[in-house]
A and B are shown apart, each in its own frame.
Chain A
Amino acid sequence: MRRLMVLASTLLFIVSACGGSAPGAAPGGGDTGVKVPSKETTPAGKIVFWHAMSGVNGDAVARIVKDFNASQSKITVEAIFQGTYDDALTKLNTALTSNSGPALMQVFDIGQRFMVDSGEVVQMQGFIDRDKFDTSDFEPAVLNYYKVQDKLYSMPFNSSSAILYYNKEAFKEVGLDPEKAPATFDDVLAYAKKLTKKDAGGATVRYGFGPSIYGWLFEQWLAVSGGYFADNGNGRDAKATKVMFNDEKGKAILDWWKAGFDAGAFYNPGVDNDGAANAFNAGKTAMYVESTARLRGHINSTQGKFTVGTGRYPKPANAPADGGNIIGGASVYIMSGRPAEEQQAAWEFVKFITSPAVQAQWQSDTGYYPVRKAAYNEGPSKEWATKYPQFLTAVDQIRTAPQNRKTNGAVLGVFAEARRRIQTAIESVLLGKSSTQQALDSAATDMNAAIEKYNKTTK
């Protein structure tokens, strides 16, 4: 009884005196002793796969999973859509320490460092070495992107490249050659001015160019300009300690973007990539840049309205030879928190989704290009290439890019945050809140602080 009385009268005391959990040990970085299950492990009967593919690409994932489940009787894969790449990663973080995570997780390109540092993944390299899985015909650019200190932590699954989309009918309308896409920043600006159309009241009914404020596009432009995103070889030689995007190369990108926007020739769909795609489909913009992964969606949505043209990603006129596009997309990770049987089953599924036949199907369903070359010999891929020859230009763009630290892209623990921060910087430039240099410098200051904090807490 006495204890109960005390409990009542000291509730408020609890509030002030009671702490939470004691500081726990931070999980170690990459090479923790997470073991690959032995080859004899029986695969689990059911595994969960989280992904971030929406729209027609989501349908394509569903198709792959269905085919896998039908192709054998031992393993059933359940695919769950967890929102955008960002949201999916948030969800994963939510699930990591509870028992509700997936066995296989699709994480976007820039989530790499975070996944490695989380200490929650089984190195894909372990499975590859154990089964002598042949990766020799994988696209080198893709392998180079996903290798951290020469080891694959994840398996590349959906790879894309940023390309230019344009409306061929709009080109014809204003007397531009519909078979010739603009190649440089200056071309894009000149074309965009030509393509911009106003109504009698002076309101713009069509903008020449309408890229969304998407940090990935900036990263691509920085790489084709021959710039580094972060120090220490883009974080590949050693953990990055600061960002480097606020140099004259980064500034040139924003200056150009701002000039087009101020001229009323560039449309601003905001940070919403789908909004940018919507605007292009609706004919509100005549050109825009996005991932090849959008190709199938655009072809479906614009049928009967206009022909979609594609071109190489535009670059500054003075772009150096060592610059080039970084691959985009995502890879899949096998999570160490799940039982060995599930890991084993996940590996079976990983082998399936990277098989040439599946990759070819995936390509024609979505617009992602196959991660391995053998896929191009498969039926669906060949048909696709005949039908949409421009697509191969996008692949060439990756194949012909020099392979170096700049074009392999940055590896950064706080990359998702950096991408959002860059987006804010671009917004503030376009909306006239700050100059290009100020915006980039302020983003760099914030990100350097975030990197310092990240390195301090992960060791």
Chain B
Amino acid sequence: MKARAFDYMRPKCVQEALEAFVGADGDASYIAGGQSLVPAIALRLQAPGLLIDIARLDELRGLSIAGGHLRIGATTRHCEILGSDLVREHAPLLAKAAPFVAHPAIRNKGTFGGSLALADPASEFPAMALALDAIIEIASVEGSRRVGAGDFFIDLYETALRPGELITAVYVPLATAKTRTAFDELARRRGDYAIVGAGIDAQMQGGFVERIRIAFLSVGSTPVRARAVEATLTGRQLTPEAIRQAQDVLGTELDPAGDEHTPSEMRRHLARVLLGRLLGRLEANV
């Protein structure tokens, strides 16, 4: 199908973009990479009267270190995350998840902020924002505010973003010498949406888990933290016994939806398998 007719503008700054949205009485959409928005418009699932192109705004670009955090400008593309030494050093979990994001051509245009704003529960970066306890910086004509990833993802494709608000940057706490991370996902074919995926960001000292955050993708209407599993593992060593217990707790904690290809029980089983693998890697520090 082809898109409905719409107007297009390329503002010179974030403020102009925000004002344009208000000026359109909300019948507008911001576009950056557009890798989900363009097909949605082409299929007429969305039909904004005005597209506000924010892809070239310098304010929204780039990777930098800022006050104990890695600042990821909202329009930083997936391929830039994948190729960044800063990300590898300071946010290794993102570097491990990035090769799993879509396909190369999509990664060349899709943006980090766009992925979070869409909040697809099967996407890697929203779940990783949760695992990293990232802070999401949001602008509107009223000013700027910050929301923790834990409060950002509300329901299926629903976030804390209010109409007209725009993600400007995401702040990820810097990895330390104690940081260990792991990411993997299970899919039927390369590049397909994962049946289940997970990322772990932990602080470990002398073999003991000081702090651990585990986030799953594709197991619910939002990315999901496995908080009961985290509580089970905190303060312990990742022994085979502890990992088995964590898998059992996960089996009771997760309640994934089933579909015609993947019954709920199968997805729960695969999540347990995946958790076991990831905790094994965390212990082995690979």
Q: Report whether chain A binds chain B.
A: no
Residues of A bordering B, CB below 8 Å:
none
Residues of B bordering A, CB below 8 Å:
none
